[in-house]
Amino acid sequence: MIQVTTENYTGADCTGSSGDQNRTLTLSNTIKTASTGLLVYASGLVLGDLTDFTIVHNDSGSVITFLNKLWDGMTIVVKYYQQKTTANVYEKMRNDFQGIITDHGKSYTIIRQTETVDSVGGVSAISEEEYDIFALVQDISRDDRQIHEMGLAVPGNSKAFFYDAYTDDETGNGALVVTIGDILKDEDSKRWRVEQIISKKQGDSNEIYRTGIIKKIDLDD
């Protein structure tokens, strides 16, 4: 279960006319409500499910039907939980990690190069597209056992944490998934090439973020 939600209404928020039976109230939930933990009060009295009201648990806007007469002046309090789903858990983990990247990382530009091949297989032109992203770049430490075992802990290499995917709104130039060969450029125009994607952290069978090894271009700079 996720955090309990409390909503306050009056009878005037329901369908029908004051004093009618079977008036309905639509809740503001955006995730399907759970039957467990649901409490409905009318004028301070706890109502009984199936005896005083029924509810249809919708993915959004669950609907309560008051079986007895309900007047506009009556106060209504509804307390409910929204069901925990795989999507909820995944989105929370993904959003939490993206928050870490934006809080502790920096703004970078991803440069993606595309080669145009001529009729005999030679490269006739190289075009570049640029995407604005947030990433978190760190030095490779002694504790990065996997990186050492892969032989990637060499001068000029760093590790970088990226979103699992960047949206068009985030990049300003279309959706992007960082991959091998992309070039990372910082605000001082220093550049690194993505050499390897060493992990794609999973949560509930969905990728939350990915870790890459980036190699500084022009070590003498």
DSSP string, 94-141: HHHHHHHHHHHSEEEEEEEEEEEE-TTS-EEEEEEEEEEEEEEEEPPP
Report pTM.
0.60
Residues 118 and 192 in one domain: yes
Residues 79 and 118 in one domain: no
Residues 93 and 115 in one domain: yes
What's the whole-number mean pLDDT along residues 73-99? Answer: 85
Domain boundary among 55, 84, 113: 84
Contacts by 144-151, CB closer than 8 A, 24 or more apart:
146/198, 146/199, 147/198, 147/213, 150/196, 150/198
Residues 106 and 200 in one domain: yes
Question: Does residue 205 register a pLDDT over 50?
Answer: yes
Domain boundary among 34, 59, 84: 84
Residues 100 and 59 in one domain: no
Residues 38 and 10 in one domain: yes
pLDDT of residue 202: 77
Residue 2: which pLDDT band, with cuts at 50, 70 and 90?
low
Residue 1: which pLDDT band, with cuts at 50, 70 and 90?
very low
Residue 189 lies in a domain: yes
Domain total for the chain?
2
Question: Does residue 221 register a pLDDT over 60?
Answer: no
Residue 221 lies in a domain: no
How far apart are alpha carbons 205 and 71 in whole angstroms?
49
Mean confidence (pLDDT) of the chain: 90
How far apart are alpha carbons 75 and 12 in whole angstroms?
9
Residue 132 lies in a domain: yes
Residues 105 and 143 in one domain: yes
Residues 54 and 148 in one domain: no
Residues 74 and 95 in one domain: no
Residues 79 and 101 in one domain: no
Residue 175 lies in a domain: yes
* Residue-range definition of the domain harbouring residue 186: 87-216
CA distances from 220 to 111, 140, 191, 216 (A): 21, 19, 12, 10
